[in-house]
Structure 1
């Protein structure tokens, strides 16, 4: 049986390890037949990303620091040389300095604010711009990952909440720009999961416990659930959806208190 993404190609930015939401997305895309490219930043992460990519047939691995335009250009060239085109971009890149994820938001440093926004928000625009030539005429899909801290105050999330709000606004503006080219742009707002990035948030265990007790489904979510929605957004089944934020959070976003 062939998958509903058979013959399509994609790039996944932001895989850190097997617990990454990006890895959950990659597994779901690959399971439906998509051939993938993975990116990594620096030698420290390269070995792990290559090991994971080797588990998915036909995958390639390319270096890419999203804060360096020349790196994004080189990554897209490598993808073009190998795949010839691109159908899906999964942007799962986010970063803030650990010292900014705690205490008062008004203590956020200028540098910390800029770093969080450059990596977590602007990088989507930078990558999308360079992916467009490979996606033209293919009814492509760009998917990014966000969190409810963009619209509500989550204690200790601080500058990342502001960066995620900018990311979600970017999704809407990009969707408007690239829609005439047949390309869709959406965000998945995932519930909290024990990932490498989440480990930097003070009180994260309390957040998990609270959501499990208050969400309509009375549990937390899994990376595989996020991955399945990513595969849906990458497919023609979601061809009428763009500029949207899709919640995968066991329903927590509907709750008032």
Structure 2
């Protein structure tokens, strides 16, 4: 965990996609908190709230709000609350991915139209929708982060349809960065190595990916959510004020071997 500092003091951020305390977004939330940021955290539904609320409390979140990204009314409500309470937004973390299990575990060529469309909507277009709503609140510039994986760039066994989906997410990140750059809004993707999270456990043969990362990564160990959080916090600070359109790998070097 990051030592406490004031690098993000006065900055206000929205975090979408915390699943539980061991999720990537939770690690980022704690890093943002350690750096002095004020946070609005969302949860998908009432069932998810019991897992997200302890993280929100630990991170000292100012707001804890429901948000199913497929529900436009809930999206409107979240940004209305942010505007009412803060009047601005400095950063947004989008950490959401979904694909129906049958499509996720099957070959890309066998993926259903419905499954592919749903995966693209929840995992990619939701970033566009959130960025669209965040833009007017980032009058003094800001940072938008999303979460990808090396399977966007290379074919990874058993990652299946999420490879094309994450590739689309990274391409979307680049296009958003160009469109929002004139407003000093930076857009970057985080690309952690395999992590033992609930979301990752849905990937078929995930233990194989874990073993491969430990064996082949130059650092010969897994990345932690705290390390991903540290990179996320760094990208939000002014130290990274010239960093945009990038995919930041936090994987012990695994992506080069």
TM-score bucket of the superposed structures, by smaller chain: over 0.9
User: Which of 33, 47, 52 does residue 49 from structure 1 map onto?
Assistant: 52
Tell me which residue corresponds to 1:112: 115
Matches within 5 A, 1:1-257: 2-137=5-140, 139-255=141-257
What is the deviation of 1:103?
Answer: 3.1
What is the deviation of 1:60?
Answer: 1.2
Distance 2:61 2:21 in 1: 19
Aligned length: 254
Structure 1 pair 2/158, CA: closer, same or farther in 2 (3 Å)? closer
Distance 1:209 1:25 in 2: 24
TM-score by length of 2: 0.96
Moved more, 24-33 or 62-71: 62-71
TM-score by length of 1: 0.96
1:202-231, Cα deviation, whole Å (9 max, x unpaired): 111111111111011111110000000000
**Structure 1 residue runs of 4+, over 3 Å off?**
none
Distance 1:105 1:156 in 2: 10
What is the deviation of 1:68?
Answer: 2.2
What is the deviation of 1:2?
Answer: 4.6
1:14-72, Cα deviation, whole Å (9 max, x unpaired): 00001100000000001000010011111111122122211122431111111122221
Contact 1:24–1:227, Cα closer than 8 Å, also in 2: yes
Contact 1:95–1:119, Cα closer than 8 Å, also in 2: yes
Contact 1:53–1:61, Cα closer than 8 Å, also in 2: yes
Distance 1:46 1:2 in 2: 29
Unaligned runs of 5+ in 1: none
Distance 1:223 1:5 in 2: 19
What CA RMSD, in Å, does the superposition of the two structures yield over aligned residues? Answer: 1.1
Distance 2:227 2:122 in 1: 25
Unaligned runs of 5+ in 2: none
